[in-house]
Structure 1
């Protein structure tokens, strides 16, 4: 699910409220993960934040490709919801190591962005 709109309309506030609700009640998810992406996309920064939030801090490889594999192998066995806030360009979940959300794995990805073209 994605939310878009100009700065200051409340996208982050709404996403944070949803995140907090999921964090309190878990709603059947193993992990509730919040990551702020910001204007410049840094895949390794996102990978490190996800690893820390799922308890893999220090257990993933040092190179981006190793982190991708380690995160993917861990997350593919888990049910998670990933909140990505403030995206400015397209994010490739497979490059990060996040399994694509599907009915089979029951995982979810929610994001906020300013440009509407992110939905194209």
Structure 2
């Protein structure tokens, strides 16, 4: 697939737990995951990142989450829709997202 349309999304069987934990270790990436727990968002709506944050930094945050298998980033017209791969992550790492999302109220 071309770089502008389709992005590679790893099979979670090929993702190490350490990669997932690393992706969740950054507060901005963790907030993105928490925001996406309520449902898919347009990439521009992901409120975890400061609106003044450079586009390259925002793209890097999303890339780390996508490569760790936590999110799906799909084209939708001129926008990109970002969603949490909840069912797949729960199957590969049972209880992990429940623990991460339970900490949301702390």
Tell me the TM-score normalized by structure 2: 0.28
Q: Higher helix share goes to which structure?
A: 2
Query: Which of 1 and 2 has higher RCO (CA within 8 Å, sep 6+)?
Result: 1
Q: Higher strand share goes to which structure?
A: 1
Tell me the TM-score normalized by structure 1: 0.26
